[in-house]
Structure 1
Amino acid sequence: MTMDYAKARELMVEQQVRPWDVLDPRVLDALVSIPRDAFVPAQHRTLAYADAQLPLGHGEMMLKPVVEGRILQSIDVQEGEDVLEIGTGSGFTTACLGRLAREVHSIELHADLADAARARLDAMGLGANVRIEAADAFAWNTERRFDAIVVTGAVDAIPPRFLQWLKPEGRMFVVRGASPAMEALVVRNDVNGQRIESLFETDLPYLVGAAPAPRFDF
C-alpha cells in the first residue's frame, strides 16, 4: 500500500501544528505545500509526518513538525528579509525559510548533509534564493548581518558570536539549557539591548561545540 503523502501533510498541519498555536497563514502554507517526505532519509520516509524527531546521521535529528512550525512563526520572516540558519540538517526548515524570506544562508557542519540538502532543494526548484555552505558555526565568520537567525541545535549558553550576526532590530530563535528540559527562546535586538522571550520547553541534540562542559562530581 502506498502512502498518501499529500493527505498526511494536511493531517500533520491540522492535527499537530495548528493545535500547537501555529496559525500564521504563510507558515501553514509553507508546511502544507513543501513535501517534507522528500527531505527524510529513505528508511524513515513513512514517518515523515509523525510527531517525532527523525535521525539524519552524525547524531543530528530532523525536528518535529510542531517545533518547525513554532520556529517559523516565532521569527516571523518577511519577504524582504535575509535569514541565517545554523544547522541545515535535512534542509526542510531551510526550504520553508526560503519560501518566506528574500534570501537564506544556511551553514551545516557535515558536508554530506549539506550536499544532500542542496540536492533536495535544487531537485524541487526551491534553491534559487538559498545558499547552503559546509562550515563550523564556531569557526565561520561573515561581515553580513541578518534580519533573523535560526539555530536548529541546542546550546548550553547563547554564543555571543551568533548575536553579532544580527541586524540592530533582528531576532534569533535558539534552544538553550540542559536536557531534558531545554527552553526555546527568541532573542531580539532592541534599542535598549537584548530582549529574551521564552516560547516553550523542548529537548534537542546540542550543536557540536555548544554542549555544556563535562561536570566531575567528587
Structure 2
Amino acid sequence: MNTEQARFNMIEQQIRPWDVLDQDVLNLLSIVKRENFVPAAYRNIAFADLEIPLPANQKMLQPRIEARTLQELAVKKHESVLEIGAGSGYVAALLAHRARHVLTVDIKPELVTLARENLVANGVTNAEVVEGDGSRGWSDGAPFDVICISGGLPVLPQELLGLLKIGGRLAAYVGVLPVQKAQIITRIGEAEYRVEDVFETYIEPLINAVEPSHFKF
C-alpha cells in the first residue's frame, strides 16, 4: 500500500466532500499518522471509510466523522479538553495538537493501555489517559473548554453539560436507532445552551450510557 497516496485519497475523497474545509484540520490529518493508531491486523484499511475494530469489542470511528467533529469543535491552543472514550488514542492526538491539554477517559483497561502507548509512541505529551466510567461525566479537571464524546449517547446527561465552561462546546452523537444526530452544544450562560445539529449518523453507545426513559402515562 502506498501510505501517502491512501492518506491523500482519504482526505480528498472522504473527508473534504463531507464539508471538512478547514485547512488546519486537513493539514492535521497528514501530521497525525492515523495508521500508527490502528491495530496492526487492520493497518491495511487504516484510511478506509469504515469503523475499525479495536480491543475490548470497541471500534475506531470513520475518518470523516472524526474530522468533521474536530472541525466543528474548533479547539483553540489555550483550551482544556475532556474526551470520553479514548479508543486507540487517535482522536485524543488530534485534539491535543490543537489544545493546551487533553484528558481522555476509557472504561476498558486494555484501551487505556493502548491509547497511552500510542500517544507516547507518537510524541503527544499534552494528553493524559485515565481509566474510568465517563458516561455521566468526569469531574476531575472540570470545568472544560471542550468535551468530545467519542461514542453514542441515547440521551445526553445533564451532568456532562454541567462540566462545560461558559463559551465551551460539547460534541456528542445523540439518539437511538435508526439514526443519531451529531450535535455541537455550546454553553452560553449558567443555564443556557445552544444546540446545533451537524449531521446524522449512528455510533454504538458508550458502555453504561444513560438510556431514555420508557415510562408512559
TM range, normalised to the smaller chain?
Answer: over 0.9
**2:182 pairs with 181, 184, 198, which one?**
184
1:70-94 Cα shifts (integer Å, max 9, x gaps):
1100110011111110101111111
Cα distance in 1 between the residues matched to 2:87 and 2:38: 10
The aligned residue for residue 136 of structure 1 is 133
Per the alignment, in what secondary structure is the counterpart of residue 89 of structure 1? coil
Asked whether the 8 Å contact 2:152–2:174 carries over to 1, the reply is yes
Asked whether the 8 Å contact 2:157–2:210 carries over to 1, the reply is no
Cα distance in 2 between the residues matched to 1:55 and 1:177: 22
Letter in 1 for 2:153: V
Per the alignment, in what secondary structure is the counterpart of residue 155 of structure 2? coil
Q: What's the TM-score, normalizing by structure 1?
A: 0.92
The aligned residue for residue 79 of structure 1 is 77
Number of residue equivalences: 213
Structure 1 segments (4+ residues) deviating >4 Å: 213-216
CA apart distance, 1:145: 0.8
Asked whether the 8 Å contact 2:73–2:169 carries over to 1, the reply is yes
Question: Superposition pairs for residues 137-176 of structure 1, below 5 Å?
Answer: 137=134, 138=136, 140-142=138-140, 144-176=142-174
The aligned residue for residue 209 of structure 2 is 210
**What is the RMSD computed on CA atoms of the aligned residues?**
1.7
Residue 114 (str. 1) matches residue 135 (str. 2): no
Per the alignment, in what secondary structure is the counterpart of residue 90 of structure 1? coil
The aligned residue for residue 103 of structure 1 is 101
Question: Superposition pairs for residues 23-62 of structure 1, below 5 Å?
Answer: 23-62=21-60
CA apart distance, 1:142: 2.2
Unaligned runs of 5+ in 2: none
Unaligned runs of 5+ in 1: none
CA apart distance, 1:214: 9.4
Asked whether the 8 Å contact 1:22–1:73 carries over to 2, the reply is yes
CA apart distance, 1:21: 0.7
Per the alignment, in what secondary structure is the counterpart of residue 83 of structure 2? strand
CA apart distance, 1:57: 2.9
Q: What's the TM-score, normalizing by structure 2?
A: 0.93
Asked whether the 8 Å contact 1:26–1:100 carries over to 2, the reply is no
Per the alignment, in what secondary structure is the counterpart of residue 58 of structure 1? helix
Q: Percent identity?
A: 38
1:97-141 Cα shifts (integer Å, max 9, x gaps):
011111101101111101111111101112x11111011114743
Asked whether the 8 Å contact 1:176–1:184 carries over to 2, the reply is yes
CA apart distance, 1:160: 1.1
